[in-house]
Structure 1
């Protein structure tokens, strides 16, 4: 047994030196103190890296099909009233939606950007007691109301009982409703007077749009949108002096938010230098998948953007409004959160301790032997 223990003792890679043979120096103490501080800082840095997950990025070809795109927006127009502001979408597949109202909220603002409380506004326009019938007479008691479409009827049975229905009938015909104050339905609803009353107001519009995942655009234009020869042209004759499309984008994103996402248009503001014009944003949407440390996937998008303003004084005169033209990148970005293992963390700690200890020992040895050699040379020179 003693022989085995003696053999085992010979395997000791850490032979012990008697303390009587130790020689402590001032330089060694300084090197030891510096090494301890360095090890402490590296230990703190490594521990922080261990508790924070790292994100790896991978690029793949986007092969998804038939998906929808959610566009979240919150935009403030300082000089366009909510009554006139229209939200429209269209894409290259031919899908078009005009004057979208669902999932969108409009808030009236005064000239200083403050929210106007909801209240009934008394309009001083002329009142029409009895609506105008399709046959030309006024609505009598007990008679069913059927308003005229002013020549835009698609059939003899069609009725236009509201200003909006007249506008829709004109839209289908491709006609411009330039004088709504001459339309009986619009006059009864005081549409023109309501627009003129809100002429100095602004509007905050926020909500989301659900569009097809193909190239297209959505835009905010003054006037209810309608089409002439498949070109979107809103009614532009209701306000005098043109339209001021000065706006601030409080929020604009595509899809669900995920950690670390940067939306370049958040907080962007633009002030119109001229009376009329079109402001265009050209957006490249990059499909993105974010996988968190628990394995949950978030399907979203990032985007880059460039901007351009078309002055309204050129010919042909551009449609006033704010347009967002978007297209999709064929490359998909995949972010994956990953945490390091405990063994990897312990290995790095051992490397820190061993590496700093070894390097500090080399530095201390170099200083000690350098001082010793210098002292010896000085002594030899002294006795000569």
Structure 2
């Protein structure tokens, strides 16, 4: 006896269930015996997802920033006048300075009568100033362009000269600032001492009072945009010599900044004449027409038979620099994103298949090498049968 009857068990106890509910599988499964477990590709999938996110973000950032192009062309518009904006502090009293401008056409402008002169102290200025070409914000020339959005944003800010700081006493320096109009031709702007320079009536100034150390806060050409940084802005030059000549050479290039390419034909052909029917284009928030310049300096000590002072010689180039920023359409962005994501997925799938194929070939070679060396193979999936007597 096998002891089953003692526990109330018989053959029916080991038969099929007689209940009303029976298990039913409508979708037959493949037996585990015939399945081969592949390599874990979860890490590869995460890598592909990270790659897609990174490339998609790069495409969106590039689309948002736009594409900036810089082109040179012959200046088309005809303009006769050009505005000059200056804000300079000279280490001499205002009564001892003469400011003049003369252009290639022979016209002389008494700039001292058109600009404002305020007494001040030289030590009140110069904070954060640098010598030409030596500061962290120094621009070597017009070829170093900023972002178009930075230029457009700076042009929207206030357009007034700051007030002269209050002081006690008469002051030891003179602040000369303001805007004046001149011919759009080659010219010279110079600051000299009273009684020296042009032949004029006036008391001769003692040479011991000469000191042309100066701090240039603003020197620009065209509409006054104080937030646009120019090469000579916030520069300082000092000397201990009484007879010293500060000479600056400027090469001016008319420049257009815009983020709307459709305005370019109008901007290139229209000048700022108040009677021009298309003058409204200069008040657009999508375009700025100004002038950039490259600056060099050749300052040196001079003999007493020469004229000391501050001399700015400017020349206008017959070309126009256009800095335009354009965006592709939103539909183009979607197409590029789809191409990037699908390309990464397809390339990633191929790379994984090639890796899996290579590992399979490598495994076969390893197994064949083991058999050739007389090693026995083992099978972990071997099953044993059990029977009841």
- Mark yes or no: TM-score above 0.5: yes
Match in the other structure for 2:107: 95
Quick check: 1:346 aligned with 2:307? no
Return the alpha-carbon distance in structure 1 between the equivalents of residues 48 and 94 of structure 2.
Answer: 68
Shift of 1:29: 2.2
1:82 to 94, 98, 104: 94
Contact 2:83 2:222 (C-alpha < 8 Å) held by counterparts: yes
* Residues 79-134 of structure 1, C-alpha deviations (whole Å, 9 max, x = no match): 211222232110010110125333x3323223533767478x8xxxxxxxxxxxxx
Shift of 1:46: 1.4
Contact 2:98 2:192 (C-alpha < 8 Å) held by counterparts: yes
2:120 to 102, 105, 109: 109
CA RMSD of aligned residues (A): 3.1
TM-score of the superposed pair, with normalisation by structure 1: 0.65
Return the alpha-carbon distance in structure 1 between the equivalents of residues 312 and 255 of structure 2.
Answer: 20
Quick check: 1:29 aligned with 2:42? yes
Match in the other structure for 2:356: 368
Give the structure with higher Rg (CA).
2
Match in the other structure for 2:309: 321
Return the alpha-carbon distance in structure 1 between the equivalents of residues 227 and 351 of structure 2.
Answer: 43
**How many corresponding residue pairs?**
280
Task: Note closer, same or farther for the CA distance 1:240–1:94 as it changes in structure 2 (3 Å cut).
Answer: closer
Match in the other structure for 1:208: 179
Return the alpha-carbon distance in structure 2 between the equivalents of residues 106 and 260 of structure 1.
Answer: 22
TM-score of the superposed pair, with normalisation by structure 2: 0.64
Task: Note closer, same or farther for the CA distance 1:222–1:113 as it changes in structure 2 (3 Å cut).
Answer: farther
Contact 1:284 1:327 (C-alpha < 8 Å) held by counterparts: yes
After TM superposition, the structure 1 stretch with the greater mean CA deviation from structure 2, 258-267 or 366-375, is 258-267
Contact 1:106 1:204 (C-alpha < 8 Å) held by counterparts: yes
Structure 1: runs of 5+ lacking an equivalent: 1-18, 122-197
Instruction: Report the 3-state secondary structure (helix = DSSP H, G, I; strand = E; otherwise coil) of the residue aligned with 2:295.
Output: strand
Shift of 1:337: 2.7
Instruction: Report the 3-state secondary structure (helix = DSSP H, G, I; strand = E; otherwise coil) of the residue aligned with 2:113.
Output: coil
Structure 2: runs of 5+ lacking an equivalent: 1-28, 126-163, 264-283, 373-389
Instruction: Report the 3-state secondary structure (helix = DSSP H, G, I; strand = E; otherwise coil) of the residue aligned with 1:112.
Output: helix
1:301 to 278, 291, 307: 291
Contact 2:92 2:209 (C-alpha < 8 Å) held by counterparts: no
Return the alpha-carbon distance in structure 2 between the equivalents of residues 22 and 84 of structure 1.
Answer: 98
